[in-house]
Amino acid sequence: MSTIDKNTTIKIAKLARLKLNEDEINQYTKDLTQILTYVEQLKEVNTDGVEPLVHGITMEAHFREDEAIMLSEAETKKIVACSEQTLYDQYKVPQVIGGE
């Protein structure tokens, strides 16, 4: 197992853009070492035949079918008018493809 030293903690803090004082560096060094020790313990657990989970509780997604509805031109204009920015009776959104 690799141990965390002060230099590693300082490097991680710099990458995370955190300014830590000496006491915080010492505390986080201990905390990170404990976390890595715990992860090493978890690696020892036999997980053969165990399916990976996204969540600890089995949940099923309940989706509904999308249903297209037709709106009159007046209803459409009324809905689009609620937007802060519109263009030609459509929503105006920032460019996301091909822009800077």
pLDDT tens for the 100 residues of the chain, in order? 567 999 999 999 999 999 999 999 999 999 999 999 999 999 999 999 988 888 888 778 888 888 999 999 899 888 888 888 887 877 888 888 876 6
Q: Measured between alpha carbons, how far is 89 from 91 in angstroms, rounded to an integer?
A: 7
**Cα(42)–Cα(3) distance, integer angstroms:** 16
What does the angle CA 91 – CA 96 – CA 97 come to, to the nearest 5 degrees? 120
Count of all residues that appear for the chain in the document: 100
State pTM to two decimals.
0.49
Q: What are phi and psi of 90, to 5 degrees?
A: -135, 160
Q: Where are the domains of the chain?
A: 6-43
